[in-house]
């Protein structure tokens, strides 16, 4: 298994990973990885993005590492996406297409989790924020197949909640808490 790690020396844990395909927005740059990717922050940009290996931010264990995925078309995650467990953010954008997580594609963060798709959103595993909001917005359908959890482990009383908005249908096949 390939591993991509920022700050591999673990001197201070602040190295970030930035991967960009299709930097000229010509719709020709797909990003596909099977590697485990770790860093304080992880940013993936491309036309279509497909990950089969886990994305794990917060390398220095500060609780604030972020994961940002921006696809011009589709974003698909088939392994866990994890951000800092205090205030780390996960932002997934599939501008014109679908945002999909597979059966092992959990989204787990301490802060906000935001998933936006031009067409459909489908979750195959849980979506869990420890302290903030889960927001899903799709231009067509949303299908939830794993639990969506917005808890308040930190006692910060910031208005934790779940917002699901679709222009067409919403199918909820799991618990929302």
Q: CB atoms < 10 A from the CB of 51, how many?
A: 26
User: What is the DSSP secondary structure assignment for residue 98, as one 8-state letter?
Assistant: -
| pLDDT tens, residue by residue, 103-117 | 999 999 999 999 999
Nearest residue to 100 via CA among 76, 81, 126: 76
Judged against a pLDDT cut of 70, whether residue 46 lies above it is answered with yes
pTM as predicted: 0.91
The token pair that represents 45 in the structure block: 């940009």
Cα 124 to Cα 131: distance, rounded to the nearest angstrom: 22
- The whole-angstrom separation of Cα 89 and Cα 144 is 20
Q: What is the pLDDT of residues 69-88, one digit of tens each?
A: 999 999 999 999 999 999 99
Both tokens of residue 157? 């009383």
Give the pLDDT band (50/70/90) at residue 173: very high
Higher pLDDT, 159 or 166: 166
Query: What does the pLDDT look like over 117-129, one tens digit per residue?
Result: 999 999 999 999 9
Q: Per the structure block, which two tokens stand in for 108?
A: 């787990």
């Amino acid at each position: 298994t390939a591993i991509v790690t920022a700050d591999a020396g673990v001197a201070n844990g602040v190295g970030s990973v930035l991967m960009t395909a299709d930097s000229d927005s010509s719709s020709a740059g797909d990003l596909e990885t099977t590697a485990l990717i770790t860093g304080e922050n992880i940013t993936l940009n491309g036309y279509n993005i497909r990950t089969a290996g886990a994305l794990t931010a917060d390398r220095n264990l500060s609780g604030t590492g972020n994961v940002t995925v921006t696809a011009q078309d589709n974003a698909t995650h088939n392994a866990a996406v994890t951000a800092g467990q205090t205030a780390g953010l996960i932002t997934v954008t599939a501008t014109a297409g679908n945002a999909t997580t597979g059966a092992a594609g959990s989204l787990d963060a301490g802060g906000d989790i935001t998933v936006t798709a031009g067409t459909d959103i489908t979750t195959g595993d849980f979506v869990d924020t420890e302290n903030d909001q889960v927001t899903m917005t799709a231009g067509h359908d949303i299908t939830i197949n794993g639990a969506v959890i917005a808890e308040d482990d930190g006692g910060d009383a910031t208005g934790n909640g779940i917002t699901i908005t679709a222009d067409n249908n919403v199918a909820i096949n799991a618990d929302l808490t």
